[in-house]
């Protein structure tokens, strides 16, 4: 019998009570390795009620003591790094080094949040008027929720709960039901680090749980990462219910290669950015835009032998595996369907990974690497986020045409340019209407003390994830105007006071 995975409520793992489950697969073998409970609305609401009670006392703990819990949590993450990465790889399919990177990027946000005492300081004005002082305070929202995706089951939950908890909130985390084990392990580590019971609740579930979060009156804010259609749905329903909301959606990230670029550097960057984690990253580069025919020919010539050498396999095959399987059979079928549309619509399939099979893992969800050339903007493989190991080359005649491709696309998560010319790079960074920009850096994910967020249909809401924006999102500003009547300082009364 597959293992049953439940929820994390009030400081302990508990079984689900709904009787509904979702299969958790081993993507390398295609086997069901566990069943995760799917919570009911009643279970979710009960967890929220308990979180609301715990939050009051947690908010009263001073920020420095809250930060000490995160300090201990970071130490525990380092202690259990390999254990977390192995569990992550087994359910997601990404390679072991990539899984450790997933944990590490979340750990770095937790490290940043240790600075909560400084980040939560308000402003003060003395003498705003005669005897009047004015000051502001940043106060927690109360109970907040995070709805996180399958592709980063360690990093993105930590992006949500670390700043929320550092600010004095309680967090309801609803992770992906496809790889639920690591979020539960993280919650256990937070408890071990000293977090009071109920401040972090992990509820596994599907749309029923999500809708319960969006409609629950106690939950004050919702953070989401996933596909754009779901991001739009969650944003509209949350805001209609009066909640603060930030939702991050899909992407189609362009990398522009100028004629003066170091072609070997650009090709190496594209291999990692396009095929790493089997392309299941919202910051993956899925579109290469070489400027000029000669540049395009040189780029494709450099890419082909590199792609042919890629090693695809399970995470257990060693650290030299370049990428593993995709997360589900449905994901594999969708990727291969989009590849077929690319062929039908006239793109040139230079590297064909459709028939890829791995001996001994024939039932796994492996997809071989694909390279399309001469892709045009009207093709489905250009317009759609494929979320697989498929790289499309779109040839541009000029820098302006290349810039226009990225600017006209509906998504605006990340982009990059490879060039030796500082003026071109500066112009690109200033003009591009995309949230995260790399200059000779293929995947420009900001470090924890900056903020992460796209533009256009890649993001809904006013504030980004992690960095200073997270502390703004998870707090409300209260401004106090104070005036104290004078008189006491005028002198003491030494006679016994009497009634008159």
* Residue 20 burial (C-beta neighbours within 10 Å; 0-12, 13-18, 19+): middle
Q: Measuring CA to CA, which residue among 88, 10, 118 is closest to residue 449? A: 118
Q: Is 136 within 8 Å of 122 (Cβ atoms)?
A: yes
Q: Which residues contact 423 (CB under 8 A, 6 or more apart)?
A: none
Measured between alpha carbons, how far is residue 29 from residues 94, 362, 369, 370, 444 in Å? 13, 7, 19, 22, 33
Half-sphere exposure of 486 (CA within 13 A, CB side): 5
Distance between CA atoms of 204 and 16, rounded to whole angstroms? 9
- Answer yes or no: 282 catalytic: yes
Candidates 113, 167, 247, 282; catalytic one: 282
Q: How many CB atoms lie within 10 A of CB 293?
A: 11
Closest CA to 200 of 165, 155, 233: 165
d(CA 337, CA 343): 10
Would you please indicate which residues are annotated as catalytic (active-site) residues? 282
């Amino acid at each position: 019998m597959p293992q049953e995975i439940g929820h994390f409520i009030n400081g302990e793992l508990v079984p689900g009570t709904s009787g509904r489950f979702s299969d958790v697969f081993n993507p390398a073998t295609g086997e069901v390795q566990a069943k995760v409970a799917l919570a009911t609305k009643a279970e979710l609401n009960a967890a929220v009620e308990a979180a609301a009670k715990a939050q009051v006392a947690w908010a009263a703990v001073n920020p420095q003591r809250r930060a000490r819990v995160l300090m201990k949590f970071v130490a525990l993450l380092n202690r259990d790094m390999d254990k977390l990465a192995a569990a992550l790889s087994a359910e997601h399919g990404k390679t072991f080094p990539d899984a450790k990177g997933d944990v590490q990027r979340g750990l770095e946000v937790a490290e940043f949040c240790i600075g909560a005492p400084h980040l939560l300081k308000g402003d003060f004005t003395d003498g705003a008027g005669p005897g009047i002082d004015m000051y502001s305070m940043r106060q927690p929202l109360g109970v907040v929720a995070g709805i996180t995706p399958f592709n980063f089951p360690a990093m993105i939950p930590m992006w949500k709960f670390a700043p929320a908890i550092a600010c004095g909130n309680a967090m309801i985390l609803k992770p992906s039901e496809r790889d639920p084990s690591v979020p539960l392990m993280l919650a256990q580590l937070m408890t071990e680090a000293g977090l009071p019971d109920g401040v972090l609740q992990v509820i596994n579930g599907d749309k029923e749980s999500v809708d319960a979060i969006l409609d629950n009156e106690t939950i004050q804010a919702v953070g989401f990462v996933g596909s754009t259609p779901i991001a739009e749905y969650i944003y509209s329903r949350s805001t209609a219910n009066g909640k603060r909301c930030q939702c991050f959606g899909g992407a189609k990230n362009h990398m522009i290669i100028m004629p003066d670029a170091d072609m070997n550097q650009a090709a190496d960057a594209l291999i990692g950015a396009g095929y790493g984690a089997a392309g299941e990253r919202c910051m993956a580069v899925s579109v290469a835009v070489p400027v000029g025919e000669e540049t395009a020919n040189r780029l494709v010539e450099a890419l082909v032998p590199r792609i042919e050498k890629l090693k695809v396999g399970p995470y257990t095959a060693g650290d030299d595996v370049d990428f593993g399987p995709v997360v589900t059979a449905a994901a594999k079928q969708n990727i291969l369907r989009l590849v077929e549309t690319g062929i039908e619509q006239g793109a040139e399939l230079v590297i064909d990974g459709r028939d890829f099979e791995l001996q001994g893992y024939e039932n796994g969800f492996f997809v071989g690497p694909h390279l399309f050339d001469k892709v045009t903007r009207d093709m489905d493989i250009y317009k759609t986020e494929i979320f697989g190991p498929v790289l499309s080359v779109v040839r541009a005649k000029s820098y302006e045409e290349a810039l226009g491709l990225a600017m006209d696309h509906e998504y605006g998560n990340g982009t990059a340019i490879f060039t030796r010319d500082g003026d071109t790079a500066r112009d690109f960074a200033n003009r591009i209407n995309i949230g995260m920009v790399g200059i000779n850096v293929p995947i420009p994910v900001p470090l924890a003390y900056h903020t992460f967020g796209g533009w256009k249909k890649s993001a809904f809401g006013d504030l980004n994830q992690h960095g200073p924006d997270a502390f703004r999102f998870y707090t409300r500003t209260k401004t106090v105007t104070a005036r104290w009547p004078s008189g006491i300082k005028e002198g003491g009364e030494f006679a016994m006071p009497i009634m008159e």
